[in-house]
Amino acid sequence: MDSLINESFLECVPNFSEGADSATLDAITAAIESHAGSWLLDHSADPDHGRSVYTLAGYPGRVMAAVEAAAEAAIEHVDLRAHAGHHPHIGAVDVIPFVPLGDTTMEQCVAGARTFAARLAERFELPVYLYREAAQRPDRRQLADVRRPGFEGLAEWMVSPAGEPDFGPTRPHPTAGATVVGARPFLIAWNIQLSSTDVAVARRIAGRIRERGGGLPAVQALGIELASQGCVQLSMNILDHQRTPIWRVWDEAERLAAAESVSLLDSELIGLVPAKALVDVADHIGSGSFHTAEQRLHEAAAHLRIRRFDPSMVLEVRLEEARRGE
């Protein structure tokens, strides 16, 4: 796989359907960290979502090898028949998006994603679907469309022409379900906690803020109950932060929450955020141009009430730290 994209960089943000079991999460982490030339930049796990998200970047072949090893660990440890969590999913290795960085083109990323998907399907006898830029069918560009049946409805869906996988068997893996692999631009996964315990409130706000509900372009949103935190959450993906800046999402969420007589408590990043997304927030709130770059990042994070913000949450900062061996 190293020859696919040569010396350019690649990011991958694999999502696994496990958010609580430390043995499983440790096995996935160890698998990723065992590959030189690929750096684990961030990872988070959420027991309410039943999900963990890893961010790694590096040389394309090394990144793909690390993700394949992580997939092996997840398939060995995760049994979806006993899964608990609110987040939509169809697989133990639920989604593997590849993101071009540096000189890597989207065309190269698509080619690599398709080759990786075919290998994953063959090695693990796993149904694999392609999405976003790697999709080979127009009805599979959106992840939500591929994941709509859920793990429980996967077997029935797969016997129909609409559910035939791009690679692998036409039946779910008994414990690991199926996997979605794709290529896409940088995505910001971002959650906002609301001052309510009523999940219906979060779902109404999510329905109004997401693009499919007539809301903001390039925004996906779900309303989720966080039993462990005693509140509800807007769980969001910002698919194109240059089209819809993150500050605009915050402002709209605040307006919609006020209409429901609730407030925004705080927010959290799942994975990393590109520097420009926070710089745009700083510009929006009038952060002084005489401030240092790090000060502007902190001011943007304070405006968005990002939990435990640190500059290492910024992609460019974290990748440079990793390459220096920090």
Residue type, 72: E
Domains and CATH numbers, the chain: 2-183 (3.30.990.10), 188-323 (3.30.70.670)
Burial of 280 (0-12, 13-18, 19+ CB in 10 A): middle
Which amino acid appears at position 87 of this protein? H
Q: 75-102: per-residue pLDDT in tens?
A: 999 999 988 777 889 999 999 999 998 7
What does the mean pLDDT of the chain come to? 93
| Distance in angstroms between the alpha carbons of the first and the last residue of the chain | 27
* Per-residue pLDDT tens over the stretch 254-305: 999 999 999 999 999 988 898 889 999 999 999 877 789 899 999 999 999 9
Q: How large a percentage of the chain has pLDDT more than 70?
A: 97
Residue written as token pair 């039993």: 227
Rounded to an integer, what distance in angstroms lies between the CA atom of residue 299 and that of residue 257? 23
Mean pLDDT score, 68-73:
98
The stretch 112-117 carries a mean pLDDT of 98
Give mean pLDDT, residues 200-207.
98
Residue 4 has pLDDT above 50, yes or no: no
Asked if residue 3 has pLDDT above 50, the reply is: no
Q: Which residues does 48 contact at the CB level (< 8 Å), separation at least 6?
A: 19, 85, 86, 224, 225, 226, 227, 228, 229
Strand-strand pairing, 15-16 and 51-58: antiparallel
Task: Give yes or no for a contact between 87 and 136, defined as CB atoms under 8 angstroms apart.
Answer: no
| pTM confidence score | 0.76
Q: Using CA of residue 106, residue 108, residue 109, residue 110, what is the dihedral sign?
A: positive
Length of the chain: 326
Q: 220-249: per-residue pLDDT in tens?
A: 999 999 988 999 999 999 998 989 999 999
- How far apart are alpha carbons 226 and 223 in whole angstroms? 10
pLDDT tens-place string over residues 309-320? 999 999 888 888
Token pair 């002084």 is at which residue? 288
Question: What are the two backbone dihedrals, phi and then psi, of residue 15, each rounded to the nearest 5 degrees?
Answer: -115, 130
Q: What gap in Å lies between CA 297 and CA 220, rounded to an integer? A: 24
CA 3, 104, 6 angle in degrees (round to 5)? Answer: 20
- DSSP letters of 248-263? HHHHHHHHHHHHTT--
pLDDT digits (tens, 9 = 90+) for 141-194: 999 899 999 999 999 999 999 999 999 999 999 999 999 999 998 899 999 999
Provide the 10 A C-beta neighbour count for residue 325: 6
**The two structure tokens encoding residue 226:** 């966080």
Residue-level pLDDT at 8: 78
> From CA 246, how far away is CA 253, in angstroms rounded?
11
Give just the sign of the alpha carbon dihedral 15, 18, 23, 24. negative
Q: Say what the pLDDT of residue 6 is.
A: 36
- Residues involved in catalysis: 87
Predicted local distance difference test score (pLDDT) of residue 321: 86
Q: What's the CA gap between 128 and 118, in Å, rounded?
A: 8
Taking a C-beta distance cutoff of 8 angstroms, is the pair 252, 210 a contact?
no
Q: Using an 8 Å Cβ cutoff, are 38 and 66 in contact? A: yes
Q: What pLDDT shows up at residue 5?
A: 30
Residues 313 and 40: their CA atoms lie apart, in Å, by 12
Please state, in angstroms and rounded to a whole number, the distance separating the CA atoms of residues 223 and 194: 10
d(CA 270, CA 53): 7
